Amino acid sequence: MQDGTFFCYVVFIFDTKMYIMSRCSRIILTFIAMAHNGTLASKQSINLLTYYSIAQCMFIFVCVSCRYRLIVYHVSTTHVDISKMISVKQLWDVFVMSSSPTTLLSNGPQTVLSNATNYSPKVNELDEQLRKYMDAKTPAIHIYTVKPATFVLKYCVGAIHT
């Protein structure tokens, strides 16, 4: 019963859409025909256009004066300072240094890159985050391609501790 009702509903929507589309296309074709036979260029039509343009202007003015507003959300970026963000290269360098067997990450709270290569102070924080992941023995990063199951970057925590 429900399927039948749904089917009727779909047919009704489809018929309505087709009806609206056929009416719209008929209006458009009529309009093109009127453009061809010169009806749109008659004096009455032109007067109609002029009166309409005045009426719409008055309508907008009345709406605005009656406190009807077109409210929108605007997003803007101000005072952009790219030194506050970590570039992808910095991120990758920290990750590579952290996962390298020669790094001192496991020996204490020293930073890996931030003091050595003029990197942002934010790198310290990232070092800390990576260190936590290494201690927890969970992968901090995955790399997927088109086939996610095939290409997974494995994080070898054991190699770092040796």
Partner 1 sequence: MSLQGLFDADVVLSDKIQLFIKNTILDAYPISLRIDSVDFVTIIYSLGVMCYMILYHATVNRVKTENRNISVEDVITINQINTEYMLNDLFFWLLVFIVTFIVLEISCPVSIQCVSIFFSLSFTMLLYTTCSLADTQLVILRSIALFFWTIQAITVIVLTNASVLDGSCILFVNIIFGIFYYISVIEEKMTIIKFLNMRAWCSVLVNFCFILIYINNIICIDVIV
Question: Footprint of partner 1 on residues 111-150 (CB under 8 A)?
Answer: 122, 125-126, 129-130, 132-133, 138-146, 148, 150
Q: Dihedral of CA 116/122/123/127: which sign? A: positive
CA–CA separation, 162 and 79 (whole Å) = 46
User: Number of residues in contact with partner 1, rule: CB under 8 A?
Assistant: 65
**Between 5 and 78, whose beta carbon lies closer to partner 1?**
78
The answer to whether 94 and 127 are in contact (CB under 8 A) is yes
Angle at 88 between CA 107 and CA 147, to 5 degrees: 100
Q: Tell me if 79 contacts partner 1 by CB under 8 A.
A: yes
Q: Which stretch binds partner 1 (CB under 8 A): 3-11, 32-40, 101-109, 110-118?
A: 32-40
Closest approach, Cβ 23 to partner 1, in A, equals 13
The answer to whether 104 and 110 are in contact (CB under 8 A) is yes
Other C-beta atoms lying within 10 Å of the C-beta of residue 96: 12
List of residues contacting partner 1 (CB under 8 A): 28, 31-32, 35, 40-41, 46, 49-50, 52-54, 56-57, 59-61, 63-64, 66-86, 91, 99, 122, 125-126, 129-130, 132-133, 138-146, 148, 150-151, 153-156
